[in-house]
Structure 1
Amino acid sequence: MNRIEEMILKAEEELKESFARIDENEMKRTKQVLDLFRQEGVSYRHFAPSTGYGYDDIGRDTLERIYAGIFHTEAALMRPHVASGTAALSLTLFGLTKPGEKIVSATGMPYDTLLGVIGTGKGSQPGSLKEMGVSFECVELKDGKINVPAVEKAITKDTSLVIAQRSRGYAWRPSLFPEEFAELADMIHSRHPGVTLMVDNCYGEFVCKDEPTDYGADICVGSLIKNPGGGIAPTGGYVAGKYDKVERIAGRLTAPGLGRELGSYAASYRPFYQGLFMAPHTVAQALKTALLASRLFDNLGFETSPSSKEQRADIIQAIKMETPERLVAFCQGIQTASPVDSMAMPEPWDMPGYDDQVVMAAGTFVAGASIELSADGPIRAPYTAFMQGGLTYVHGRIALSEALRRMMETGALKMP
């Protein structure tokens, strides 16, 4: 038995209790999805394509009711026409703000790709919220938690929207649990009733027993090629929340007055239904893969977030590699174990929407799907690798073995 396999077996033995907790949550969330499918009487007719305007599309409308049920909300918008998580967030921000209004971020600066939407990224941003006359202010977390008093201080009479990012993005900070939005939501709803709370829920769906909308968030937004697509949905995004908010956002997607009534899809809706049904299981596989990565690198003396002893609010595992050579070698190892494009060798490049060069390993069946195993990171100190996804734990286990092997072969890592 080689040294890497010994390390993995040791880590798995240490993680038995954590794996059991993940299995328990998978059982609960799978039952929730199954109950909703049975309640809505899902059948083959719901997989039928539609064309043209898409009026009375039973597959689309039923799936949106199921999404609303998952988030315990009044309405939901689930559309393959939404190209990404950033597109879903952009749609929401433009739908819920008007010229002269203000957005406050309660979790610091948002993920890199949203900066162009807001208008704070490098260079000119044609069509941004800033160009439209919407202002922006961010409030940093305090000790990894939402600083509710500071957020309230930032809310002015022209504030219409408070946004919060559940996941860490490319920041070294803890991801947030659904219940951590309760105090923020209570403050907004009790003292600022005209303000909406939106949570960027990307990477967090099905990780916990509930979602941010269960704790007062007005709107949750996410991508279907992350958690809720289960690795099967080919594209798309969702918005779930209060009826009037979802209607405003839908008006941005189609047209005011048409909203959710419009929108056909000439391919089958089956991948969206099947992906959603698979999502709790797929998320559980990704969580186990992240836990294994964390324990392996904890045992090697690396700083990880979350550590293998902490509870998890999303599927992302951050590992401080400390050198660009380690970061690149880790991503290259993950790529070599990918089912698609395993022969590719990732190198840092100027990726659209990012301020720094990024190295990215993503040999996925659905291009860019973050619920499939991938690893990436910006080429900036402390050269943190952000790993996420994994359709199966077994694949994640093999890929981590290959990543460690690549790091050793390149001299980036010396095994103890």
Structure 2
Amino acid sequence: MFLHSHVCGVCLFQHFGGSTGYDHDDGGGREALDSVFADIVGAEAAIVRPQFFSGTHAIACALFALLRPGHELLAVAGPPYDTLEEVIGIRGSANVGSLKDFGVTYREVPMQNPNCMVMVDNCYGEFVEISEPAMVGADLIAGSLIKNPGGTIAPCGGYVAGKEHLVEAAAARLSAPGLGVEFGSTPGHVMRALFQGLFLGPQMVGEAVKGGLLIAEVMSAKGYKVEPLPRVPRHDIVQVKSSLR
């Protein structure tokens, strides 16, 4: 019993402890967090790092992992939000390394099933439904840790998850070719917060969904326009209230 407890204590210390990220495999917690996250979302692999500045940064790394000069990016669920417009190159980012600068074209098309790779912006959608996009065929998903999977605790960071070779390509975009997922500094207090946030994430998302349902019900009854409508299935935690009808 003493030996078992001692070993568990060592494992916990290693996983919650920080690392400089300079040596190969010096961050036991880093690899453990990647593995746990990949298992949760049904992906072959994942990279979960505080070095992702935001969800947009993680999504950009995922897009550059998938796309090469001459490829076309299709938006099949409506236009992207404003920060991704500059990543794509459809607004205000000429000659700074957007996808357009690298010869990637862009179109918005209705939802379809083309013969192409699928990348999902999963921000605000994690843990809302029973299945995550990677479980039903998405090649890559990406998002922010200061939203759903951070459980209100993670202070920073983002993730990319999906097919292993594509996650490795996204990691090379975050760091450099040849470095990939094996490097990266993670302070101990941040690593602990990322684990704790992931543990609390589903509960926090559940509370957010219930809050959204309540807001939609009350504000709709008061005559406000709401989206989504009350008592409809939710796909993310976003609830919008606009002007009176």
TM-score for the superposition, normalised by structure 2: 0.90
Counterpart in 1 of 2:155?
234
Higher relative contact order (CA 8 A, sep 6+): 2
Counterpart AA for 1:49: G
Counterpart in 2 of 1:156?
none
User: Per the alignment, in what secondary structure is the counterpart of residue 188 of structure 2?
Assistant: coil
Q: How many Å separate the matches in 1 of 2:139 and 2:94? A: 31
Counterpart in 1 of 2:221?
299
Give structure 1 stretches of 5+ with no counterpart: 1-40, 141-145, 149-183, 323-381, 383-416
Given that 2:87 and 2:93 are in contact with CA atoms closer than 8 Å, whether structure 1 keeps it comes out as no
Q: Percent identity?
A: 45
Gap change, CA 1:125 and 1:289, over 3 Å in 2: farther
Given that 1:213 and 1:219 are in contact with CA atoms closer than 8 Å, whether structure 2 keeps it comes out as yes
Give structure 2 stretches of 5+ with no counterpart: 1-9
Instruction: Give CA deviations for 1:76-133 in whole Å, capped at 9, x if unaligned.
Output: 0100000000000111111221122211111121111100000112474622111121
User: Per the alignment, in what secondary structure is the counterpart of residue 102 of structure 2?
Assistant: coil
1:198 to 109, 119, 126: 119
Does residue 312 of the first structure (1) align with residue 234 of the second (2)? Answer: yes
Task: Return the offset for 1:54.
Answer: 4.5
User: Per the alignment, in what secondary structure is the counterpart of residue 310 of structure 1?
Assistant: coil
Counterpart AA for 2:151: G
Counterpart in 2 of 1:288?
210
Counterpart AA for 2:19: S
User: Per the alignment, in what secondary structure is the counterpart of residue 185 of structure 2?
Assistant: coil
Given that 1:116 and 1:125 are in contact with CA atoms closer than 8 Å, whether structure 2 keeps it comes out as no
Counterpart AA for 1:107: A
Q: How many Å separate the matches in 2 of 1:42 and 1:284? A: 30
Instruction: Give CA deviations for 1:199-237 in whole Å, capped at 9, x if unaligned.
Output: 111000011112111111111111000000000001000
Counterpart in 2 of 1:47?
16
Counterpart in 1 of 2:80?
110
Q: How many Å separate the matches in 2 of 1:237 and 1:259? A: 15
Does residue 267 of the first structure (1) align with residue 236 of the second (2)? Answer: no
Counterpart AA for 2:89: G
Gap change, CA 1:228 and 1:215, over 3 Å in 2: same
User: Per the alignment, in what secondary structure is the counterpart of residue 235 of structure 1?
Assistant: coil
User: Per the alignment, in what secondary structure is the counterpart of residue 109 of structure 1?
Assistant: coil
Q: How many Å separate the matches in 2 of 1:300 and 1:308? A: 12
Task: Return the offset for 1:72.
Answer: 1.3
Given that 1:117 and 1:125 are in contact with CA atoms closer than 8 Å, whether structure 2 keeps it comes out as no
Aligned residue-pair number:
234
Gap change, CA 1:306 and 1:127, over 3 Å in 2: same
Task: Return the offset for 1:267.
Answer: 3.5
User: Per the alignment, in what secondary structure is the counterpart of residue 220 of structure 2?
Assistant: helix
Task: Return the offset for 1:266.
Answer: 2.8
Counterpart in 2 of 1:91?
61
Counterpart in 2 of 1:130?
100
Q: How many Å separate the matches in 1 of 2:144 and 2:95? A: 23
Instruction: Give CA deviations for 1:2-37 in whole Å, capped at 9, x if unaligned.
Output: xxxxxxxxxxxxxxxxxxxxxxxxxxxxxxxxxxxx
Counterpart in 2 of 1:139?
109
User: Per the alignment, in what secondary structure is the counterpart of residue 55 of structure 1?
Assistant: coil
User: Per the alignment, in what secondary structure is the counterpart of residue 131 of structure 1?
Assistant: helix
Q: How many Å separate the matches in 2 of 1:69 and 1:289? A: 28
User: Per the alignment, in what secondary structure is the counterpart of residue 303 of structure 1?
Assistant: strand
